[in-house]
Amino acid sequence: MLPISLEFFPPKTAEGTDKLRAARQQLYALRPEFCSVTYGAGGSTHAGTFATVGEILAEGMEAASHFSCIGATRARVREQLAQLQAMGVKRLVALRGDLPSGYGIGGEFQHASELVEFIRAETGSHFRIEVACYPEMHPQARSPLADLEAFVRKVRAGADGAITQYFYNADAYFRFVDDVRGLGVAVPIVPGIMPITNSSQLLRFSDACGAEVPRWVRLRLQGFGDDVKSIRAFGQEVVADLCRRLIAGGAPAIHFYTMNQAPATLALCEALGRC
């Protein structure tokens, strides 16, 4: 059975924490390979990220902490790596990350490849390191080639695998994989999948991060207006078809961006015969 993994973000309220705990228990029925927890801009959710990772480990699941470096010092990163090792974490998603609004670049790292290299130098092979990649190009990249070269540097620095930004065009994923294979990169590249449950939220996210929503999908979603039931049914059909294409084309696993909700991911996995 094709492996899957799940992504959560650290809740900001007690109510959100309780809801995430309940969602996780439902999603564990999918037998994920691991669950990752995101890391806020400039490390702003550090405490919440590590706390959520600790809960997942205590629930008997493998947990991967996101770990960003922009604005960080080597001493601080070294301290946090030691904390994660002591917790029993064996996976990281290493990212450059974003700074909170209003801050300068700062810190001792400028690129995720530098973070990956530092983690390897400090901890050897203790961590399995995943990095991010962008089938439709990072929104801040100078060119498609520059984006590919930046990804290759992360892998050569010691990354074990990659998880993509979400996308809805399978051809973009397959072309990206072909391109990096042509550059000598052999690590697994796992497609990141975002269920469609809220059209306005999805379109806002996508415009901000550079993920393309195909015009026909965008128009159909807008045409549903506030009809949540139709949006979710259509979204499940679109994303399930995307996953089937990816699986048929040889994707090594699927990584679901759950948005801390269980129903959409469960429904997708059921449609794929994963439940």
CA 210/CA 214 separation, integer angstroms: 12
Does the annotation count 136 as an active-site position? no
Tell me if 211 sits within 8 A of 164, measured CB to CB. no
Q: Longest Cα pair distance anywhere in the chain, in angstroms?
A: 52
Degrees, nearest 5: CA angle 257-219-234: 50
CB count in 10 Å sphere of residue 135: 24
> Where does residue 111 rank: exposed (0-12), middle (13-18), buried (19+ CB within 10 A)?
middle
- Provide the edge-to-edge strand list for the sheet that holds 189-190: 189-190, 161-164, 128-133, 91-95, 63-68, 35-37, 4-8, 254-257, 192-193
DSSP 112-147: HHHHHHHHHHHHTTSSEEEEEE-TT--TT-SSHHHH
Strands (E), the chain: 4-8, 35-37, 63-68, 91-95, 128-133, 161-164, 189-190, 192-193, 254-257
Task: Find, among 151, 162, 161, 163, the residue nearest to 194 by Cα.
Answer: 163
Candidate list 7, 114, 117, 136, residue with the active-site label: 7
CB count in 10 Å sphere of residue 87: 15
Active site residues per annotation = 7
